[in-house]
Structure formats: C-alpha cells, structure tokens
C-alpha cells in the first residue's frame, strides 16, 4: 500500500497547474521532474497512456524527492494498484466508478475523479469525493459550466482539464470553485524531445505566476 498523508485538496492547491505528462522514454522522467520542480511545480501527473509510464513514475519517486508523482488516466482498480506499487502518491481519472474510488482508498491514493455532468458530480459525492476533475473542460462547457455549478454544487472544488492552456488558464483559475487546472502545455513535445529543460522550467515558473 502506498504511504501518503496527502489529501486531494492538498494536491490541487499546491500550485495553480498540475502538468499532464505523457512519457515514452524513462530516460526523460527524472530530468523532466527536476526541471518542473525547479520552476515550482511539484505535483506531477504521469499518465498511464504509454507502456513506459509506470517505470517513469518509479524513477521519479526514487530519484526526485522534491516531486510528488501521481498517476493519470487511472481507469480501473488494477491501474490504481499498479500506480501505487510504482510510487504514485495520488491518482487522476478521466471518469469515476465506485470500484475505482474504493481501490484508490485501499491503496492510500487521493483520487481526483473525472466528472462532466451534474449526475456524475452527485455520484462522486455519494462516494465521499468533493475535490473533482472537470474533464474535458472546454468541450464540456468550460468556465461557463463551472460558474453554473457554483449554485447547486457550492461544496465542490474542481481541477478543470482538457483544452486548457496559457491563453485561458487564468479564466478558470479566477473562479471560486477552481483550485487548479490541469494541462499538457508545461511539457511541450519538442522541448521534451530536445531535452530543453530550461524551457520547461520557465514554463513551470510562468504557470506558478498564474495564481490569483
């Protein structure tokens, strides 16, 4: 079982942006994590979208003590178990099921479950989750949808992810029910391929400066 004292809110409130990271080569994992940490971003969501993802999480967990590595695209209890074994300390999902929620609790992983409708928010709340991912944010109604949810779901905070970048992140972060946003723009594919860690550190610094 993963040992962690984190809560989902602590993950969400650590910085204005949680980077959504897709890694195909474990050699990039540690220098990337160090570059993001140098820019002030510690919560790192490594998505389970590649065969190398678990090895990348493991490398970051072992070698970059300042980073808090999490698993993204967690869709099943088996994903949660594998992520915890690899050293993940939180989990992010594109959706939610009660079985996934239970598995993450069993593994000691704070979970940001994905929601896109009022019914999905209510289902997550029934299982005790009130710090949620809003995904895909722009496609599911964007900032206007989050404003509409402030009334009926005033006790919920969100991490909107999907279609968010430096041009619209501040619009989401200005909302009282948004704790942070998720985005892939902190790790551009060309910067990663070229090992341009200085550029990634600068993007992280700019992201930290978005805090309202």
The residues carrying an active-site annotation are 45, 133
Q: Identify the DSSP state of 66.
A: T
Give the C-alpha separation, 62 to 60, whole Å: 5
Q: Count how many Cα atoms sit within 13 Å of the Cα of residue 200 in the half-sphere of its side chain.
A: 26
Give the C-alpha separation, 87 to 19, whole Å: 18
Give the C-alpha separation, 61 to 85, whole Å: 11
The continuous run of DSSP H or E covering 20 comes out as strand 17-21
Question: Is the dihedral angle over the CA atoms 190, 50, 39, 210 positive or is it negative?
Answer: positive
CA separation, residue 187 to residues 87, 101, 195, 206 (Å): 21, 28, 11, 13
Tell me the longest C-alpha to C-alpha distance in the chain. Answer: 46
Question: Is the dihedral angle over the CA atoms 11, 9, 115, 146 positive or is it negative?
Answer: negative
Give the C-alpha separation, 142 to 146, whole Å: 7
């Amino acid at each position: 079982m993963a040992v962690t004292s984190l809560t989902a809110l602590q993950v969400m409130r650590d910085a204005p942006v949680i980077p959504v990271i897709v890694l195909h080569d474990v050699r990039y994992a540690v220098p990337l994590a160090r570059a993001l940490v140098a820019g002030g971003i510690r919560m790192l969501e490594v998505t389970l979208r590649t065969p190398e993802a678990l090895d990348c999480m493991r490398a970051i967990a072992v070698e970059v003590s300042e980073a808090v590595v999490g698993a993204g695209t967690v869709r099943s209890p088996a994903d949660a178990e594998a992520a915890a074994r690899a050293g993940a300390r939180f989990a992010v999902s594109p959706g939610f099921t009660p079985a996934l929620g239970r598995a993450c609790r069993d593994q000691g992983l704070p979970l940001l479950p994905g929601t896109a409708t009022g019914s999905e928010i209510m289902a997550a709340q029934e299982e005790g989750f009130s710090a949620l991912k809003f995904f895909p944010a722009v496609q599911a109604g964007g900032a206007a949808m989050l404003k509409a949810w402030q009334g009926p779901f005033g006790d919920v905070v969100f991490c909107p992810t999907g279609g968010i970048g430096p041009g619209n992140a501040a619009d989401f972060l200005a909302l009282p029910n948004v704790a942070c946003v998720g985005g892939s723009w902190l790790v551009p594919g060309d910067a990663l391929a070229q090992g341009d860690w200085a550029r990634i550190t600068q993007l992280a610094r700019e992201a930290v400066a978005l805090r309202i």
